[in-house]
Amino acid sequence: AVPLVVAVSTTKAAASGLLIRDRAAFERARDLDAIVFDKTGTLTEGRFGVREVVPLGDLGADEVLALAAALEGQSEHPIARGVAEGARARGLDVPQPRDFRNLPGEGVEAQVDGATVRVVSPGHVERLGIEVADERPERLAAEGSTVVYVLRGEDLVGAIALADIVREESREAIDRLKAMGIQCMMLTGDSKEVARSVANELGLDDYFAQVLPDQKATRIRQVKERGLTVAMVGDGVNDAPALVEADLGIAIGAGTDVAVESADIVLVNSDPRDVAAVAELSAATYRKML
Ligand code: ADP
Ligand code: MG
């Protein structure tokens, strides 16, 4: 039998958009030492706008953007939407791609006019051993922009700087959690510079940048190995293994079905403040039972 206060609380929770799928996990929410948030679309809006295009080869800025948009039109990633929208806003002629594929956590690839074109993360470029001679992309990243590189064949042809914004609600969520003595951390596939700038803006206790999708769960395990009871908050397919690894997995937003299936709690309203609400409600519920 479910104790009455718990039943009442889960009903109350559901009414405010907190879907508790696992009651034991909800009980653990009062003992949390740390919460790890996914960055894009969780702490930030996940809506990127093109800030600047830096040509790095023999193509002009518009050509670089059009080439990137050819690939990104096929992707659902928030970065992809930003690039495609940037090309549309500038009225560019976007070529037709063939053999499109996703490089999870790293970018996208396709054939355009007989060449292999990739739009990828700084980490991917680094792993290829390609030196970026121009300092502008790094400077844009240091200012908090998300930078992706455009490669045609083996050649770097440009960089695109995009800006996302930190959600208004994130700051309050972090403040409330920290007031409960819970450490707040962030996990992202994005660069160190962007991660640092978001972490500073929100006053986060720690962050992990350039984390590939298959390493997200490992990061959660490492936080657990510090002896901490940890929750993970994420929205994407990439986050599912990390949600499962955490002591408490929280899916935010409608998200993907995979994230929802892997979560103990689903935040229907996509509001990071509801993470604080879960911790507060769990504490209040189980305190009453003692
Ligand atoms: P996040 O932690 O922001 O959800 P992802 O794992 O989805 O990160 O992506 C990590 C990084 O991989 C991005 O910051 C970007 O550099 C690169 N990337 C992923 N998808 C794309 C894409 N469609 N176009 C360009 N770059 C991408
Ligand atoms: Mg994400």
Q: Cite the active site residues.
A: 38
C-alpha pair distances (Å), 125 with each of 2, 45, 68, 184: 54, 26, 15, 30
pLDDT, position 290: 59
- pLDDT band at residue 12, thresholds of 50, 70 and 90? confident
Closest ligand 1 atom, residue 41 Cα: 4
Q: What gap in Å lies between CA 8 and CA 2, rounded to an integer?
A: 10
Question: Which fold does the domain 49-163 belong to in CATH?
Answer: Calcium-transporting ATPase, cytoplasmic domain N (3.40.1110)
Tens digits of residue pLDDT in 75-133: 988 999 999 999 999 999 999 999 999 998 899 999 999 999 999 999 999 999 999 99
Q: Where are the domains of the chain?
A: 4-45+166-288, 49-163
Please state the pTM of the whole predicted model.
Answer: 0.83
Half-sphere exposure of 233 (CA within 13 A, CB side): 31
Q: Does domain 4-45+166-288 have CATH number 3.40.640.10?
A: no
Of residues 248 and 8, more confidence is placed in 248
Q: Is the pLDDT of residue 255 over 70?
A: no
For 288, the token pair is 């009453």
- Ligand 1: centre distance to CA 230 (Å): 24
Residue 1, strand partner residues: none
Nearest CA to ligand 1 atom 4: 40
Q: What gap in Å lies between CA 25 and CA 56, rounded to an integer?
A: 50
Mean pLDDT of 60-85: 96
Tens digits of residue pLDDT in 199-219: 999 999 999 999 998 899 999
Nearest CA to ligand 1 atom 18: 107
Mean pLDDT of 8-36: 88
Of residues 252 and 149, more confidence is placed in 149
